[in-house]
Structure 1
Amino acid sequence: MMMNGGGATEIENLRVGVDVGGTKIEAVLTDAAGAILASGRRTARKGGNEVVEDVAAIVRQVAGMRFGDVRSVGIGIPGLVHRDTGQVENVVNLGIEKLELGGRASGVLGLPVWVDNDVNAAALGAYGTLPERLRQGRMAFVNLGTGLAAGFVRAGLVERGDTGALGEIGHLPVDSNRVACKCGQRGCLETACSGGALRRMWPMADPPLPDILAKAAGGDAEAGRVLGILLHALADVVQIVAQGEDPSVIVIGGGVSRVGSPLLDALRGELRRRESSSGFIAGLRLTERLRLADPSIPIGALGASLIAC
């Protein structure tokens, strides 16, 4: 706490953001301006009771002695999220069919708790890390994690659509390889362009993408084939996002993107090949819109803190 000149106590407006994933939970303590003051991580456990316990524990961990100054908590989590109630459904990797996460976490912590989809939270976190000059228009965030999805932010606000399905690009059945998807369709982009897809196509390394890139650069035909599938699908994603939503910036994030510049360079190469045969695609200036999320910043947790009112 801080003391003002008159000696009265001024309560700091601190918030905690929590990013709940299938294998880990990250959290940050932020100030009113969104600056990260502290961060923490713990292993995720399956089950609704366990998730509530782990969220409460990591909130207290990152807040430490300043817990009394925390005004609210935001949580980003996969699955179907009912933002008005804080209920989440079908969090498959954590074994949750239905959980009153917001209400239960609020009851344990004694604080207001806001819950949103994890990709929306990460999109808001990515937006917050952009230079001011890039925050003037709409930003698209493409999350290359275990699955594939996108989030959209304009003027600091997440765009959601009418039903909450905005950004579910991973289940557009347009990939020519026609691989069966867990959603029941075939040819979903997620089956060619995600961490799960890469592990299926390249099970000999974990994480697979660095090994694929290195071997493809060395002339390995199979690595080149797998990389070609990934890049074709990822370029399709960029086109779909650009032509459907027309954002000024497209940020690539998620676990797969942590390989960094080699992925971005390869993607730009694929897009340039498309530009060379299409004046229309060249006019979209797609390569100029692309950015990588900063892997040193826990954007999921940061964005979760920003959804907390």
Structure 2
Amino acid sequence: MSPYVIALDVGGTGMKAALIGPAPEHRPLYEARRGTPREAGPDAVVAAVLDFAAELRAYGVAHLGAEPVAAGVCLPGIIDEAAGVAVFAANLGWRDVPLRDQLRARLNAPHPDGAPTGTPDDAPTATGAGIPVVLSHDVRTGGLAEGRIGAGKGVDRFLFVPLGTGIAGAIGIDGRVEPGAHGGAGEIGHIVVRPDGPPCGCGQRGCLETLCSAAAVGRDWAAACGDPTATAADAAAAVAAGDPRAEAVWQAAVDALADGLLTGLTLLDPRTLIIGGGLAEAGETLFAPLRRAVRERVTFQRLPTIVPAALGDAAGCLGAGLLAWDRHSAEVSSR
């Protein structure tokens, strides 16, 4: 019988999950993936998340001999972590979804085959005792994992910035990630760096993520090369091959990114800057010009170490598992 937690990372196109064992290794004991049926509407996505969580619980009971001790779920968008509510997630179509309570109810329901449970028969469920559930923002959760077991391990202050479809940030301080007073800390992707730039979904123009996210680089390279299917990875390959059109697109993105990061460095003074997401997979094609551009911009600021993320697309899932273990430990200590 091995203690474990459910870890679930819900994205706009796919969901990654694992059953994570205890410290110190926090080893994944089982891993699975599912598609996110967002084309079927927001209610279908909620149902898919609940069903996936229930499948994970059933697997753990059948193969690990016990109920999970907690569950952690990370989501995109704006999350009210204290209330357990997905306030807004544009790519999932969610507004004010009380997902924590829905997950609690599903995970604490009687097991359909009568298998043994990890809580007493008379334990209250849904909103009381039983399997606790914690929700968090996907980038902050990924930052937590990078800080504890990834590129930021042992670093007292770091800024984690994944460059994917969008851009956000996680502020790491002494082993935790700062959520902010209203759950919005780290939204570096919505710093305006080019006031006359492209419109952003947030209502502003020239936000960082409209200029140097993987989606933005792919868009600009597609326009420059005339291939509407071109991606940021294609742009990176063209840069490595010495294509001057790609070099111009890439440098514009790097310059915008360095301008945005300089604001982050000035406000937060991190010791390490961790860059992740799809664009970071370009390796030194990104990191060499980025380090140079940031170095050219700093004046009084201390230049941080700039490193690639270590955990790849597993960071969110691993971070969700760490949050679940944290919640379990806190509940055990409070008894």
1:135 alignment partner, SS class: coil
The one of 73, 76, 96 equivalent to 2:74 is 76
> How many aligned residue pairs are there?
291
2:165 alignment partner, SS class: coil
Structure 1 letter corresponding to 2:21: D
Aligned to 2:293: 270
The one of 181, 184, 190 equivalent to 2:209 is 190
- The answer on whether the counterparts of 1:39 and 1:62 sit within 8 Å (CA) in structure 2 is no
Task: For structure 1, list consecutive stretches of 5 or more residues without a partner in the other structure.
Answer: 2-11
Matches within 5 A, 1:1-309: 1=1, 12-33=2-23, 34-46=26-38, 47-62=41-56, 64=59, 65-66=63-64, 68-110=66-108, 111-130=131-150, 134-175=153-194, 178-203=197-222, 204=227, 208-272=231-295, 274=296, 280=299, 284-286=302-304, 289-296=305-312, 298-308=314-324, 309=327
Task: For structure 2, list consecutive stretches of 5 or more residues without a partner in the other structure.
Answer: 109-130, 328-335
Aligned to 1:9: none
- Per the normalisation by structure 2, the TM-score is 0.79
What is the rounded CA distance, in whole Å, between the counterparts of 1:116 and 1:207 in structure 2? 33
What is the rounded CA distance, in whole Å, between the counterparts of 1:172 and 1:31 in structure 2? 38
Deviation at 1:24, TM superposition (A): 0.6
Deviation at 1:211, TM superposition (A): 2.0
1:59 alignment partner, SS class: helix
What is the rounded CA distance, in whole Å, between the counterparts of 1:267 and 1:207 in structure 2? 22
What is the rounded CA distance, in whole Å, between the counterparts of 2:54 and 2:316 in structure 1? 18
- Per the normalisation by structure 1, the TM-score is 0.85
Percent of aligned positions with the same letter in both sequences?
Answer: 32
Deviation at 1:98, TM superposition (A): 2.7
What is the rounded CA distance, in whole Å, between the counterparts of 2:253 and 2:207 in structure 1? 12
Higher strand share: 1
Q: 1:39 to 1:189 in 2, by over 3 A?
A: same
Structure 2 letter corresponding to 1:24: G
Q: 1:122 to 1:296 in 2, by over 3 A?
A: closer
Structure 1 letter corresponding to 2:28: I
2:139 alignment partner, SS class: helix
Alignment RMSD: 2.4
- The answer on whether the counterparts of 1:205 and 1:211 sit within 8 Å (CA) in structure 2 is no
Structure 1 letter corresponding to 2:75: I
Structure 2 letter corresponding to 1:56: L
Aligned to 1:5: none
What is the rounded CA distance, in whole Å, between the counterparts of 2:90 and 2:135 in structure 1? 17
1:152 alignment partner, SS class: strand
1:94 alignment partner, SS class: coil
Structure 2 letter corresponding to 1:127: G
